[in-house]
Amino acid sequence: MRLFLLLLLSLFGLSSFASHIVGGIIHYECVGNNTYNITLYVYRDCNPGNSQFDNSPTIGIYENSTLVESLTMSFSDAIVTELPLETGDPCLSPPNNVCVQEAIYTGTVTLPPTSVGYMLAYQRCCRNTTILNVPAGGDNLGSTFFAEIPPQEIAVCNSNPLFNELPPVLLCLNEPFVFDHSATDIDGDSLAYVFCNPKDGGLPGVEMNPPTAPPYIDVPWNASFSVDYPITSDPAFELDPITGLLTGTPTQVGQYVVGICVEEWRNGVLVSTTNRDFQFNVVICGQGIISFIEEEDPCQGTSFSFENGSAGGTEWFWDFGVDELDSDTSILFEPEYTYPDTGTYNVMLVANPGEDCADTVFQTVYAYDPVTADMTFSGGECAEDGRSYFFEALGEFGPNTEFSWDFGSNAIPGTSVEQNPDVIFTSDGTMSFVFTLTEAVCSDVITGDIIVPPFPSAIVEEQTTFCGGLDFDFVNSSTDASTYFWDFDHPNPDATSSEQNPSHTFPDFGEYNVVLIADPLSDCADTTSTVVTILPPDPIQFAYSTSVPGPCDSLSVVLLNFTGFGADEITWDMGDGTILEGSPIEYVYENQGEYTIQITAFQELCDFEETESTEIYFNTEVLDYPLEMPNIFSPNNDGKNELYAPYFALSRGVPVVLPGGRTIFDYLDVWDMEVYNRWGNLVFESNNSKAFWDGRIEGELVAEGTYFVIFTFQRTCLDSKPLTLSHDVTVVR
């Protein structure tokens, strides 16, 4: 079917053919005695208001670039004809606002023989500015039509070829075009056909007398066009070089200038070239009878009132496409018809059936009842992976309806084609869904939201009391739950509870892994656990160790370590103003001496603190002095010289003053003191608890007199083995 469309005024109205030459050709015939009859064919737009043919067109005859003759012709002698508008198809009608005239001018000229030949040329401005394949040059883009007379040594008294047919004025859009562009040569020479470039020439408003001399300038091409592709077409226009057959299918409305040259060959030598420059008008061709069915609503049921949009017809034949019926026809212009069942039907309309230019159109008609989507849902119970809902399709639909559900990425399944699907939403919140009903080409879509309640979340409030005994009050911070189950992690009969915020008495101090289940009897149950520490009133087991360096130690570092348990923080007051934290620690005192270290242990959970003190003596000095024994001592309770022991001697008889609280035995690794009376009886021997002799035997003061003392010793860091020192001592009162 070819639809009837009006010709675009912007291309072919009065303004589009404003006054321009649209083609031309020069033909010459030698009649003898160097005389030539010259024929000039010129074509113009002939719509009202357009410019006229030249009154006195002049053909310039050049030998190379030298003007030899100017042949001026007269419009009064010209034959003017309006060319027929033919499409080549009896059922295609051309538009009525296209007009092209042909003017045929004639004249005679005698030319002397030449060894270089002659160029015959005619020029005229201007081309249409609406031509698509060359620039819109206004009045500055014109035409040059030419023909060549060969030199005498090539051909004597030659006549150039003459094209047999005039190209059609119109080419129908999207219709295959075939035209015999062949020519006839009365001399019988061989002819070849080629696309050639149209030539520019002429001045606006001037009859060119004479035309300008050769060579002539090619008309430039717009983008995507060329000499061999002058028209927008598919398949592209082709010219058979032997037959001159021009073929192609134009695919864009518009005006196009085309150049075709015929070459005359004799005995393998080019005799002459003649150009034909012509404007083709690609138009939308109408059709006298056009059938057209207006589109019908596909979902209005099975009854139709058909609308006929045809043009040019007087008789009609409808076939409504029911295969099993012969009665599904009508000859009305716009019939009504009810189909026996829903379905898809191929309707045919024939305009003027039986006539040569009858037109037929087919259209698919969908006879289906409309569908209306509606739905409902229920549920919300806990399922294994979320909350379960049941969706039910409602509305108006037939037995062949297809269902489509889209529940989004947080649903299992995310989509469904079931009529009534079960769906599990895996997260809470507002969930959007889309429901579509489809029957054949009919469909309806609705969207909706479903609010999915949050899932239970088991939460136990952080433990804040620890040292109040075995009783503990639990705080339940769970959300979106209504029932609970507690397991307090011990074997007693009361080790569980279903209260929301239970109080529980644990059987003993220690750690318990308490478990809370929110909504324990549902598939949405949520479980959490927490370690509860039940501590005694005194949660700290206090123990520590100290290591104090001596004179022989290579490092002078005091090592302190808390070895107990239950403390979160340990603080050491080193007795010299220094406070240290943590355990173990290392410390070096600046000065030697005795220090009281205070250890403080703190338990954060119970806010409990415990403190103990220890005495240490920091001494790293080595005493390198000789030992001497006193020769007299007086244990008489006067507070002077009451104890007997050796001493470090600064010089003979001068003792070394030891640091406060220190004795010589603090600087000895080995010592043993034995005291004998004059009869050789042992009256005293040192031991771990008694290093000094107080002048007593079994608690009784010895008698005055002389005693003999043997002292075995090994000085710290100095002596490699024990040494012995003996001396007499006199006890006096």
Return the CATH number of the domain spanning residue range 544-618: 2.60.40.10
pTM for the model stands at 0.45
- pLDDT band at residue 71 under the 50/70/90 scheme: very high
pLDDT tens string 384-408: 778 899 999 999 988 889 999 999 9
- pLDDT band at residue 516 under the 50/70/90 scheme: very high
Which of 118-132, 209-223, 641-655, 686-700 is the most confident on average? 209-223
Q: Which helix (DSSP H) or strand (DSSP E) does residue 10 occupy?
A: helix 9-12
- pLDDT at position 537 is 75
Q: Residue 556, Cα to own-chain centre: how many angstroms?
A: 68
Architecture of domain 372-452: Sandwich (2.60)
Q: Which two tokens stand for residue 167?
A: 């190209």
The C-alpha torsion from 328 through 333 and 334 to 338, rounded to 10°, is: -10
- pLDDT band at residue 191 under the 50/70/90 scheme: very high
- pLDDT band at residue 9 under the 50/70/90 scheme: very low
Residue 344 pLDDT greater than 60, yes or no? yes
pLDDT tens string 615-666: 888 777 788 889 999 999 888 888 788 888 899 998 888 898 887 777 888 8
- pLDDT at position 74 is 92
Q: Residue 289, Cα to own-chain centre: how many angstroms?
A: 54
Q: Return the percentage of the chain with pLDDT > 70, whole number.
A: 93
Return the CATH number of the domain spanning residue range 627-731: 2.60.40
Mean pLDDT computed over 197-221:
92
Of 181, 137, 133, 136, the closest CA to residue 161 belongs to 181
Residue 515 pLDDT greater than 90, yes or no? yes
Beta strand pairing call for 415-416 and 402-406: antiparallel
465 or 204: which carries more pLDDT confidence?
Answer: 204
Decide: helix, strand or coil at residue 63.
strand
Mean pLDDT computed over 253-281:
93
Mean pLDDT computed over 722-733:
90
- pLDDT at position 14 is 29
- pLDDT band at residue 675 under the 50/70/90 scheme: very high
Mean pLDDT computed over 470-484:
89
Residue 513 pLDDT greater than 60, yes or no? yes
CA distance 560 to 562: 7
- pLDDT at position 388 is 92
Residue 336 pLDDT greater than 80, yes or no? yes
User: Helix (H) and strand (E) counts for the chain?
Assistant: 1, 56
- pLDDT at position 667 is 83
- pLDDT band at residue 92 under the 50/70/90 scheme: low
CA distance 531 to 511: 6
Cα 534 to Cα 266, 319, 466: the distances in Å are 125, 95, 5
Return the CATH number of the domain spanning residue range 297-367: 2.60.40.10
